Chains A and B, each alone.
Chain A
Amino acid sequence: MSTYAKKKGFGATVWDYLTTVDHKKIAILYLIAGGLFFIVGGLEAMFIRIQLAVPDNDFVSAGLFNELITMHGTTMIFLAAMPLIFAFMNAVVPLQIGARDVAFPFLNAVGFWLFFFGGVFLNLSWFMGGAPDSGWTNYASLAMKSAGHGVDFYILGLQISGLGTLIAGINFLTTIINMRAPGMTYMRMPLFTWSTFVASALILFAFPPLTVGLVLAMFDRMFGSNFFDVAAGGNTIIWEHMFWIFGHPEVYILILPAFGVFSEVFATFSRKRLFGYSSMVFATVLIGFLGFMVWAHHMFTVGLGPIANAIFAVATMAIAVPTGIKIFNWLFTMWGGSVRFTTPMLWAVAFIPSFVAGGVTGIMLAAAPADYQYHDTYFVVAHFHYVIVGGVIFGLLAATHFYWPKMFGTLLNETLGKITFWLFLTGFHLTFFIQHFLGLMGMPRRVFTFLPGQGFETGNLISSIGALFMAVGILIMLYNIIVTSVRNVRVGNDPWEDGRTLEWAIPSPPPFYNFKQLPLVRGLDPYWVEKMEGKDEMTPAEPIGDIHMPNSTILPFVISLGLFVSAFGALYNVDNKDWTLPVMIIGLLITFGAMFIRSVKDDHGFHIHKEDLVNDDDKEVKA
């Protein structure tokens, strides 16, 4: 490593990360940025729960409460959960398939910076006249009438970060199809790679409708069109369809990678091959497919008619079948295995009952006639937090502990990890279980306060106390991260000792070229296959040779920055200010100029010579 890993100053490190196209560094960028937005979204959640802890509270005003719930939902879905998932996809998928990088390293960086600038833009609304306040679904009937620029921040911020997500989706699809190591057939791919593959396909087909919906909203609010203006012939239901054609696949985009993480964790810590691998793959693909057939179950009360409601209700219930297959496969993976309850495994085990509870309420909500009763109550809030926190967030926390050593070369403290787990798990059920009953008793969602004497006091207080538990759990995890990083005890290739897949066969963190020689994959769980034959490393598929790597570049940052600048022009366009049009044009010029430079300037990357690779080995041995 000596020739490449020089000691660098702070400025050089920042520049390195601004210009990087290395999937492992982009993973760290996603983790940091997603983590920061997760904390912001968490604070918003805390403010909501403080406001609702007691009846007739005036901790925040009604208007601010609307902004808080809108930004909590939007931030958590688009700026926390998605990027954190991308962090682990970037960190792990190329390693799991035995690739040296993703298919499009440059676009990978563009995707990150678009997400980042979109997220920053959206959150600047807090300081520039007020955040969006029409709910995270931003229904046009509310949003088009919303005063101020909050909704404009939502429209433009999500547009920019959505582009980044689309790019990331295409990148992972191409990577997984084209860049697999010799012998890594589709049916030998680890489940996390499979779920990334299916989630990326969902991104590819789900994000364009969101893009169109946001474009229509942008034209209506900023450029005088009439898509949602009923007086001019418009129709606000178009937004609802566009949003949910995106929005429902989106929840599978979030949950499938979490399923993938759990599949890896269950197999690793049960020291057993994943039960029913083929049916797991089948179920993942089927969930992805059905995910596009169910969007109107969010719109049962719109009045689409009994036939549409019935079709979407049945399609929704059908998703329970492949999901059930998965649940049983995980249980059977543990059955008869030699189970080790590490922190990631605790999250995985706790995920099963939590997620099943969310699934059962999902079936209840899918019954269209009954949904008229549940709709827009806390029952819905309880349901989607059970699946998103109990599924996605548990998955992300499991992945954080599980993959931390592979990303940073040091193992998070297990005791602190378990304290985090128990606090968060307790807090989670305290917060959301009671909300089922609040909902059934008639408490509507999105209300900024409630009256005393209606039976909502105890439930809401318990819910707020639970939120505090979760917050403390996360704080302990942050403390864990700091302590672990400061102590910096280095670990070897396979810190969990039972690694099964390719990423555990190389150093932690891996060298920037990942594999000195591409590995030969001889079966499902390739590293485990080698271990069973008494080896401790992979059989190489090629002799040591020159390795081709992409060049670092600042252009991805500049491309994204241009759209960020341009968005300010579009945002203030309705105010008839002189500077808005020039700002829009300058921003777009920056973006398209950078794209033009990228297009006309040849970039062939560079080669690491095989002599350097051999020398590195010698030095590592001596050191």
Chain B
Amino acid sequence: MQAEEKFTDATWPAAPEKATLEGKNKYLGFWLFLGGETVLFASLFATYLALKDKVPNADHALAKDIFELPLTFITTVILLTSSLTSVYAMYHMKNNDFKKMQAWLLITVLLGAAFLGLEVYEFNHYVHEFHHTFTSSAFGSAFYTLVGFHGGHVAFGLVWIISLMVRNAKRGLNLYNAPKFYIASLYWHFIDVVWVFIFTVVYLMGMVG
């Protein structure tokens, strides 16, 4: 099966991301990579839990002082929704509907950008309202490293998905780029799962003590 071959709806395989050996390798290799990423974030979570509320003196803000539920709720809803829209994109990819896939990817990207914008606002807020910075305390270092690593992943994912959309805008789907779209969406889901843990461990547990 040639990777660049043109397909009709009838000949488009059911699992285009795994129809070639290259696709199969990418699919498996990326799942493995996400396994490694899980350990990476687990280590960052462990560090955060060890250093939570560890500040030099009583003047420094603690977790229960700075986190606010409304803002975090909005960012969480936005990111979870973007995961859903990326599922729709993959649904249309599997149905060989390139235009609808691009449209849903675009919505995903916009939601991701909105999330990132709110996160920047949030960090800015902490720095100016509470003097809670990367260098102010061990708590600050751990918080910005964990949440910032996640934010960095979101930013990378945005650049990645946009590159894929632009690069393939004119030529549509084939078995060479279908795995690329698929693993980008896997990555996006992973970012989302990490955020669920950040929401729970950092924000919810931060607010109850």
Q: Are B163 and A599 in contact (CB under 8 A)?
A: yes
Chain A 318-342 against B: per-residue CB contact (8 Å), 1 yes, 0 no?
0000000000000000000000000
1/0 per residue, CB under 8 A from B, across A221-235: the answer is: 001111101011111
Apart from A245-B43, A599-B167, A604-B4, what are 7 other A-B pairs with CB-CB below 8 Å? Answer: A170-B36, A177-B28, A204-B35, A208-B40, A225-B141, A232-B136, A234-B141
A211 to B140, CA, bound (A): 20
- By secondary structure, the A interface counts as helix
Also in contact, A204 and B36, with CB within 8 A (given A209-B43, A212-B43, A227-B51) = yes
With A205-B39, A233-B55 as contacts: A170 and B33 at CB distance below 8 Å: yes
Smallest CB–CB gap between A177 and chain B, Å?
6
State the Cβ distance, B152 to closest chain A Cβ, in Å: 11
B21 at the interface (CB under 8 A from A): yes
Min distance, Cβ B101 to any Cβ of chain A, angstroms? 18
Tell me if A103 counts as interface (CB < 8 A to partner B). Answer: yes
Q: How large is the interface on B (under 10, 10 to 19, 20 to 34, 35 or more residues)?
A: 35 or more
Q: Are B50 and A235 in contact (CB under 8 A)?
A: yes
Which residues of chain B in 134-177 are interfacial with respect to chain A, using CB atoms and an 8 Å cutoff?
A: 134-142, 145, 160, 163-164, 167, 176
A212 to B145, CA, bound (A): 10
Identify the B interface with A (CB < 8 A): 3-4, 21, 24-25, 28-29, 32-33, 35-37, 39-40, 43-44, 46-47, 50-51, 54-56, 134-142, 145, 160, 163-164, 167, 176
Q: Which of B33, B50, B163 contacts A596 (CB 8 A)?
A: B163
CA distance A232 to B59 in the complex (A): 12
Q: Point out the residues of chain A lying under 8 angstroms from B47, CB to CB.
A: 212, 216, 227, 238, 242
Residues of B within 8 A of A174 (CB): 25, 28-29, 32
A232 touches B138 (CB 8 A): yes
| Chain B residue nearest in CB terms to A592 | B159
In the assembled complex, how far is the CB of residue B92 from the closest CB belonging to chain A, in whole angstroms?
Answer: 22
Q: Mark A16-46, 1 if CB is under 8 A from B, else 0.
A: 0000000000000000000000000000000
**A103–B29 CB distance below 8 A:** yes
Residues of chain A lying within 8 A (CB to CB) of residue B25: 103-104, 174, 178-179
The answer for the CA separation of A229 and B138 in the assembled complex, in Å, is: 7
Cβ-defined contact, B32 with A104, below 8 A? no
A194-230 vs B, CB cutoff 8 Å, 1 = contact: the mask equals 0000000000110111011101100110011111010
Interface residue range, chain A: 35 or more
- Contact A204 B32, beta carbon cutoff 8 Å: yes
Closest 3 CB pairs of A and B: A233-B54, A233-B138, A225-B141
- Which A residues contact B (CB, under 8 angstroms)? 103-104, 107, 166, 170-171, 173-174, 177-179, 204-205, 207-209, 211-213, 215-216, 219-220, 223-227, 229, 231-235, 238, 241-242, 245, 596, 599-600, 602, 604
**Chain A contacts of B40 at CB under 8 A?**
208-209, 211-212
Which residue in B24, B43, B51, B134 is a CB contact (below 8 Å) of A178?
Answer: B24
Q: A179: which B residues are within 8 A, CB to CB?
A: 21, 25
State in angstroms the CA–CA spacing of A232 and B57 once bound together. Answer: 8
Best-buried of A223, A227, A600 by chain B (most CB within 10 Å)? A227
A232 and B37 contact, CB distance less than 8 A: no
Whether B24 and A234, one on each chain, are in contact in the complex, defined by CB atoms closer than 8 angstroms, is no
Contact of A225 with B134 at beta-carbon distance under 8 Å, contacts A205-B39, A208-B37 already known: yes
Q: List 17 A-B contacts (CB under 8 A).
A: A104-B29, A170-B33, A171-B29, A178-B21, A179-B25, A208-B37, A208-B43, A211-B40, A213-B43, A223-B135, A224-B135, A227-B141, A231-B56, A235-B50, A235-B51, A242-B43, A242-B47
Distance in angstroms between the alpha carbons of A503 and B157 in the assembled complex: 41
A604 to B163, CA, bound (A): 19
Identify which of A173, A209, A213, A234 contacts B51 (C-beta below 8 A): A234
Which residues of A are found within 8 Å of B56, using beta-carbon distances? 231-233
* Chain A residues, CB < 8 A from B32: 170, 173-174, 204
Q: Which single member of B36, B50, B134, B135 contacts A208 (CB below 8 Å)?
A: B36
- For B134, give the chain A residue with the smallest CB separation: A225
Residue of B nearest to A170 (CB): B32
List A contacts of B50 (CB < 8 A). 235, 238
Q: How far is the CB of A537 from chain B (nearest CB, A)?
A: 25
Flag if A215 contacts B145 (CB, 8 Å).
Answer: yes
In the bound complex, residues from chain B placing their C-beta under 8 Å from that of A600 are 163, 167
Closest chain A residue to B28 by CB distance?
A174
> A207 contacts which chain B residues (CB < 8 A)?
36
A232 in contact with B163 (CB, 8 Å): no
A233–B29 Cα distance when bound, in Å, is: 39
Chain A: CB-nearest residue to B135: A224
Measured CB to CB, the closest approach of chain A to B34, in angstroms, equals 10
Specify which chain B residues have a CB less than 8 angstroms from the CB of A216 in the assembled complex: 47, 145
B145 / chain A contacts, CB cutoff of 8 Å: 215-216, 219, 225, 227
B33 & A226 in contact (Cβ 8 Å cutoff): no
Tell me how far the C-beta of A109 lies from the nearest C-beta in chain B, rounded to whole angstroms. 15
The interface residues of chain A lying within 8 Å CB-to-CB of B163 are 596, 599-600
Judging by beta carbons under 8 Å apart, are A226 and B135 in contact?
yes
| Given A178-B25, A227-B141, A238-B50, CB of A205 within 8 Å of CB of B176 | no
Chain A's closest residue to B54 (CB) is A233
Distance of A345 from chain B, by nearest CB (Å): 36
Bound-state Cα–Cα, A103 to B43, Å: 28
Contact B140 A212 (CB under 8 A): no
- A225 → chain B, closest Cβ, in Å? 4
